[in-house]
Structure 1
Amino acid sequence: MLIGIQLTARKSVSQPWRWTEDASSSVRIAPEPTMIGSELRTDLRDAERGQRSDFTAMATPSRASGESKRGLPWLEWARGWYSICAEFLFQRIMASHLENPLPLPPLNGVTFIVTGCTSGIGLETARQLAMAGAHLVMAVRNTNLAHELIRKWQAEGIPLDVEVMEIDLMSLKSVVRFAKAWNARLQPVHVLINNAGIFSIGEPQRFSEDGYETHIQVNHLAAALLSLLLIPSLIRGSPSRIVNVNSVMHNVGFVEADGMNLVSGKRKFTSLRGYCDSKLAQIKFSSILFKRLPAEAGIHVVCLSPGIVRTNVARDLSSSLRTGYHWIPYFILDPEEGCRSSLFAGTDPQIVEYSELLKMEEWPVCPYISHDCRPANASDESHNLETSKKIWEKTLELVGLPADALEKLVAGEEVSCQYDEIDE
């Protein structure tokens, strides 16, 4: 049984990855793998204790089957808020070993699709990938703004390989159109970064044109549909990655398959609940996708926390809260700092090894990377495989895909989607 993982990296080391056994501690160690960036040290502690070597004591992933409950037990809820507060107070200290910006290798010929990349973390992620030579596909709603950004980047005198494609995550029909247009090219996708997300702080409950609560649609359903429909292109780019920008706020989320749209009346809607629940749903769905993707497909699924970042979410706050938000810059990361975990998850060679190790050990959750580019233990609730399977099944139903969609897509078969617009 795997007791723990310790991954270490040094800039000066160029030897390939190798696993060794530490007989004294029963810890499997990769002492000096090649890494991107500055000296980096990452650990995942004893899975049974569910502890990390940082300031956050994580919950024990003890439930293998679902337990009927209407919300988080108070102890899990308290642990979740402890994790959030610890990340807020100590995230700069925990990430002090990282360079800013995070150094990237040449990415010429590597295709990245990044959603929601005209502002905030997504903008910085896209800019740095473009500057590193990647073939960048900006999947955005505001295409005019994206073209303006490209012109600005080109003014810096660096040749870019960037294109813009329209997608509106508030519309599942738009997601299907995007995926069909890309797949029709028969070109590979090496990394899909599902960056786009919303957090409508203090706003009343709203619904998309598809009838879904906006947080669950943008933060989970649309990203899940896009990831699945791009499976053929991701297989062409194998080894490839699906990178989901998640949040530490998932620690206080609670989601049930029948209440995912927050219309059942069992739990009162708040924007905070909508956001946290959608992020937990994303981890649960991603974990089942991670487990069900066959090794020969060569697709790795990763979720990450960018930290607590100063982005456009502040525009939804009241004027008094906006003032306070900008008076605490030391604690809050800027977008350049916040995008480091996205870049790490999308480019670092260790991610593939880490993903394969967790799959081999039948870890119940997909790889989760913290804002400090270290492996992290997702919330206790995310380890509940029974509810994760139900979230998987319900998600397929809500996005209009058959239950065997993944298997068919991996096998190269056509899959019909309820939101596919048939050409007349």
Structure 2
Amino acid sequence: MKWNKVTAILLAAMLVVLTACSSSGSKDGASDVDVIKVWTYPVHGNYKDDIAKSVAEFHAKHPNIRIEYELLTWAEGPKKFDVALNAGSPPDIYYHGVSGQYVDTGLALNLDPYMTAEIVSDYLPGVLDKAKIQGKQYGLPMYQYQWAWSANQRILEEAGIDWRKIQKEGWTWSEFKTEAKKMVKDLPDGSKQYGIVTDATTTDFIEMLARSSGLVDVVDRDGKFIWNDERMLETLKFIRSLVDEGIMPKETAAIDPAKRVEYFYNGKTGIASKGLPYYDVMLETRAKDIDAGKIKGEKIEHVYLPIPYKDGGKWQATVGGEGYVGFRQKDDKGEQHAKNTFLVMDWLTKGVHGGNSASELCVPFARQSQIDAFKGKDSRGKPHNKIAAEINQSHGVPSSDLFVDAKVSASKKKFIEQAQKPMQQALFSGSRTPEQIFEEFKNKGEQLFR
């Protein structure tokens, strides 16, 4: 009986030691399998299959590291991530562009110690800069994104609009209004066809037009608030004139993103705001569904158009780099875990793994290894739209978020939520004049950016 007690005590002690060693191995990633958590989104139609294949290939190559990934929804994912980040327990890797708010938490992983010369040289010139905050690398871009407008080729050509010229040379605000008015008409069913339709819930319409007026962002690279410039008032007046002159629907204030797409799919507008080259693939899939009798509607030939710029100004496009951002947790898991996190980030963004997204979205590649992986393969997207995307990319201006500190970035977010969103609703509805909204912007800016 005494011997059994001694044995039990020894066994318990050994169990404690083994547990401690196991925990240490998991934390440092040295002896046990290190789990790297990835939160991402359905980036394109085949992304679920693509990432599953990439993860399986990684596991075969690195059996000591296991990737646990979760596909979030676009609607709820950002909220889930914010909750986790604020709690100090974000995933190791998150699909997003870099943000000063992430850096402000102290949890964003500075990637500079892990950036080898080979990885740096694999990225195309200027691409890595799109994932830096104040010169430090916090993200690895998977592709180079860009936003512009999408148009219905049939409607453009029926209105006699030379869209190929616009794709190559761009257009001014006045030129846009002249062309857009040509597309406005009454349709046989009693409805109206508009020149352009946007929604009142997302903020990009005002932001892109403000950028095209010369105001790159809410703040400049030095963190100075610039939406108090008279060019902002001109932008607001221009947008309001699109409603007043019938180029946009009078009910724009009640249109959400789904309704905006409905206008476009139903041939009720020549142009839909916030377009990207990926519409080529989306509309191709939609055309197959129409042929198969799954849905009814017009098979739309997509035209990718740049944002018009203020007369006397210059073409300035909305571009950036999107991919993966790395994080530590409040309960830090050690340096080896951080190295493994970076290893996974590099794997998911290089070669065919990252190139799949660029190819499917019809946007420029981020890395030479992606270009090499897709050499000789069929390229997605229509040739004229791919050329238009390359031209648009050459006019790109990066967000000021890449240069300002975290405090300014946080103030910018508050400005968008507290001033921009409510005031754009007022602008579209006509409940406030452009002048009144401009004053609101100036007052809020003075309050937040002191």
TM-score range, shorter chain: under 0.3
Larger relative contact order, structure 1 or 2 (CA cutoff 8 Å, min sep 6): 2
Per the normalisation by structure 1, the TM-score is 0.26
Which is higher, the Rg of structure 1 or of structure 2? 2
Higher helix share: 2
